[in-house]
Amino acid sequence: MPKFSANISMLFNEEVFFHRFKKAAENGFEAVEIQFPYMFDKSLILEKLEENNLKLVLHNLPSGNNQKDKGIACNPNRKNEFQDSVGIAIEYAKYLNCKQLNCLSGIPENNNQKNITLETLISNLQFAADKLEQEKIKLLIEPINHYDMPGFFLNNSSQAKTVISSVRSKNLFLQYDIYHMQIMEGNIIETIKSNLNLIKHIQFADNPGRHEPGTGELNFPYIFSQLDQIGYKGWVGAEYYPFSNSEKSLDWFKMNK
């Protein structure tokens, strides 16, 4: 079975943030991911990771005003801010021994400047990929469905693949979120197979609702078994909103341990 990580920005949210590490470990997880750790003291995060024998396998770059921006990498008026954010992300990742960072492309400020938006994204990703490579940290980008996040610049794996091929770096990869891509393109297993060389992290939630496996239309026992069969070696992150509560949502995990 795949290696599963718990996204504690969404799971175990019945608890205050620093109690979620213990909950993840008590329920059998060996790794966690955090969307945006920057509001927390990194020394306290490290303390909780070590205390509970957990790895931090992924966090995002800072995304500006997350409620509004959803990332700033594609916005030409914020290149300096983006470059500063890369430095902040590296500081956290090195301190927490996190080897992969995810970059949200963001929502364009001007929909009439698509070429400039794309050029800005490519330039910023080039900068970030090079900086992270110096620290032996992988950079990932993630397409997100345009229903949950209207206007988001990257919406499917084909777009992300085109961007990756436009950046002159061997340190830029794809984060594939099964929930988002089921909405945007379907054909989950074949798409993962065809992009296996680029995919370094997978996240999941069922659809509709973005809840745990078994609450929607996706056949997760088949998906998880296929990830093994096709040779995917990375982490698979549980990034969903529990339908009732977190511990009751983990039947899928108990069956795949």
* Residues catalogued as catalytic: 142, 239
CB count in 10 Å sphere of residue 58: 28
Cis peptide before 208 (omega within 30 of 0): yes
- State both tokens at 36: 């945006």
- Kindly state the greatest CA–CA separation across the chain: 50
What sections of 135-187 are H helices per DSSP? 157-166, 178-184
Distance CA 193, CA 216 (A): 23
DSSP secondary structure, 121-148, as one string: HHHHHHHHHHHHHHTT-EEEE----TTT
What sections of the chain are H helices per DSSP? 20-26, 42-51, 79-96, 114-134, 157-166, 178-184, 188-194, 220-229, 251-255
Question: Residues 219, 206: contact at Cβ < 8 Å?
Answer: no
